Structure 1
Amino acid sequence: MNLKLLLLPFSLVYQGVTGLRNLAFDKGLLKSHKFQTPIISVGNLSVGGTGKTPMIEYLVSLLQDDYQVAIVSRGYGRKTRGYIEVTQDHNTNDVGDEPLQYKNKFPHVRVAVCADRVAAIQALEGRCDVILLDDAYQHRYVAPAINILLTTQVNPYHQDYVLPSGWLRESASGARRADIVILSKCNKSTSYAVLQQLQFDLKLSQAQSMYFTAMDYGKQLIGRSETISLDYLIDTRFTLVTGIAHSEPLVAFLTALGGRFDHLKFPDHHDFTNAECHHINSCDLVVTTEKDFQRLAGRIDKKALYYLPVATAFLYDRQAAFAEEITNRITYHRKH
């Protein structure tokens, strides 16, 4: 029997529990906190791999010239507790990999980690103009000014199932809470008609906006103290190390480039053991993701350790429309 069918009863139970929780928030039995500072939540219905981190970075780049931006993250995988404001002296055990990546990329931006997002926002209010909430779509104790939902072209939420038979954290009906839905990680060769059909299938309301994005990989590999051209990989065998939810797009990109590599694949937010670090250190040339670089850089002493940056790219020249919508929603929130 199909494994999904075997797990379906458990999914129905899980869906029922999450549905009751959402109903409690909808009816006001559980309180969603509103804040004077505009809050932009970026999240998904599924478990990881939709491109939240590049989207947070895109928003920082979009807003940082006009607003003091702060980021709040749970700090997944850290070995500390409570509220911490991230500095570049922290490591991933202190604050997690993604918050450290944000801080290293945007040193002037306040980055805080805390499981209690309400408490984190209260600690930051008055010291910033806009707060970005990383992976907080299900954290309904916060009522964001803008709720951005990401779902991928390969596995859109309307074709998925609730855990454990699928990857959804809650029913696909939860998408109704989104102000903006982004179909992420689109294949740039996909026809507009196919993407339009996907948009139709998602059955968004008239109040919801839809955008299509793809992943843009950098043209340079970035190391501790130097960068090298991506083309260097064409004629050089290397080892790819990934500890992310879905490494398939990166593998496909490097394969299409003509790269010859061994792939060491680990789970998302993987805490590398000493033995694994020793093995990675013995490889001649190591390429990894920016997130994994945060974990490995302090434990691998080899010089030939590089990451390939990735960024969000809006398709069909819709980046200006997205920017206008974000700034308009921020302005509206501040006036009301």
Structure 2
Amino acid sequence: MLLNYLRLLLLPFSIIYGMAILIRKKLYDWGLMRSVKFDLPVICVGNLAVGGSGKTPTTEYLVKLLAGYKIAILSRGYGRKTKGFIVANGAATAETIGDEPLQYHQKFTGVTVAVCEDRVNGIKQLKENHDLVILDDAFQHRAVRAGFNIVLFEFRKLGTLQFLLPAGNLRDVFSSRKRADILLVTKSPVPLLHVAQQAAINELQPNANQPVLHSYLKYGDLIHLYHNESRTLESIKDFEIFLLTGIANPAPLIEELEKFTKTIKHEEFRDHYAFKNDDIKKLKSVFLASTKKDKIIITTEKDSKRLRATGFEDLLVDLPVYYLPIEVELFEEDKITFDELILNYVKSNRRNR
């Protein structure tokens, strides 16, 4: 309740922020601020809110769909302690390139992963040796004129009143969605009722040429943080779960885990949080103090990159600590439309090499 009052106090600043966004938007629309277009396919995956819409698994979906091409993923590398243009290599850590780029780099061999605050400079350094560039979280970065924009909206937040920063979580005005080529509703319920699907379309009010497509999260098997070992979610039925997260929106993950157990102790941190020794010691202490025989520590795949990178192995290696991978999947008809639009765009815009 107190937080809601504080947000109301910040509303005047949100109005000022919104005016600045609109002025900046018009300057780009009128050509008074320069937007660079490149001679290769550039796909941007973005959203209007701060974090939590599913950009990372959507980017991974694109990589799998476009596996026949030479792909580069370019990210800002949020949370890294470095600056400038860096291409991920075997020495990369979450501290040098950020947790999400590290996840891409370790998951996809043959895909170039790079980070750079200046997306124009980043694409210039990548374009000669790649067929296409995927921009991770760059919809607001108007200095690049991406050839294809995918804007994500979380299902459960559609229809709710949202405010611009700092009073709310929106970092762009709702009208910006009109620049998108696809409006992708993420984290949809399964099954998806037609009435819910239509409600999303009514809320987003797309242009005539803007498809509104729906995706959902698909959870994999739990994977041990340090050992070559995995187990199904079904195998932890009625376990006591000690959940550690540093992501923007852990609610869908908690809902999935609650299908298997009602005993979840959640240590929650902000998105991209750099875990400290004291955080892990506290988690270990609480875990060991539990008298329940069947218990497990679970984190997200993104969080696992920071846990591995910061030298916590001595504290965690002997514990049952696992991460839960997720994938994005689209409903059948939407999948056909989505895949066709992406593949046709890349094919028709690829350079003759």
Letter aligned with residue 299 of structure 2? T
Match of 2:91, SS state, is coil
Match of residue 62, structure 1, among 48, 61, 65: 65
Are 1:286 and 2:288 an aligned pair? no
Letter aligned with residue 135 of structure 2? L
| CA–CA separation in structure 1 for the residues paired with 2:69 and 2:193 | 36
1:90 corresponds to: 92
1:125-153 CA distance string (max 9 Å, x none): 11110110000000010011100100111
* Aligned counterparts, 1:164-175, within 5 A: 164-175=166-177
TM-score by length of 2: 0.90
Aligned-pair CA distance for 1:196: 1.0
2:280 corresponds to: 277
Tell me if structure 2 keeps the 8 A contact 1:238–1:262: yes
Are 1:13 and 2:24 an aligned pair? no
Letter aligned with residue 289 of structure 1? T
Match of 1:244, SS state, is coil
Aligned-pair CA distance for 1:288: 0.3
2:264 corresponds to: 261
- Compared with structure 1, are the counterparts of its residues 335 and 67 closer, same or farther at alpha carbon in structure 2 (3 Å cutoff)? closer
Letter aligned with residue 308 of structure 1? L
Aligned-pair CA distance for 1:278: 2.3
Are 1:300 and 2:308 an aligned pair? no
Tell me if structure 2 keeps the 8 A contact 1:45–1:157: no
- Compared with structure 1, are the counterparts of its residues 79 and 17 closer, same or farther at alpha carbon in structure 2 (3 Å cutoff)? same
1:238-258 CA distance string (max 9 Å, x none): 311000001011011101222
1:202 corresponds to: 204
1:130 corresponds to: 132
| CA–CA separation in structure 2 for the residues paired with 1:292 and 1:180 | 29
2:254 corresponds to: 251
Match of 1:330, SS state, is helix
| CA–CA separation in structure 2 for the residues paired with 1:150 and 1:210 | 10
Tell me if structure 2 keeps the 8 A contact 1:52–1:150: yes
1:318 corresponds to: 334
| CA–CA separation in structure 2 for the residues paired with 1:316 and 1:160 | 30
| CA–CA separation in structure 2 for the residues paired with 1:159 and 1:174 | 17
Letter aligned with residue 297 of structure 1? R
Match of residue 33, structure 1, among 16, 32, 36: 36
1:291-335 CA distance string (max 9 Å, x none): 000011242222322110101010244212211110111233337
Name the Cα RMSD after superposition: 1.9
| CA–CA separation in structure 2 for the residues paired with 1:258 and 1:267 | 24
Tell me if structure 2 keeps the 8 A contact 1:75–1:114: yes
Tell me if structure 2 keeps the 8 A contact 1:234–1:259: no
Are 1:331 and 2:342 an aligned pair? no
1:43 corresponds to: 46
Letter aligned with residue 272 of structure 1? F
Match of 2:129, SS state, is coil
The range that moved more, 210-219 or 230-239, is: 230-239
| CA–CA separation in structure 2 for the residues paired with 1:129 and 1:53 | 21
Return 5+ residue gaps in structure 2 as ranges. 289-295
Aligned-pair CA distance for 1:159: 4.0
| CA–CA separation in structure 2 for the residues paired with 1:259 and 1:101 | 29
| CA–CA separation in structure 2 for the residues paired with 1:57 and 1:162 | 28
| CA–CA separation in structure 2 for the residues paired with 1:271 and 1:38 | 34
2:291 corresponds to: none
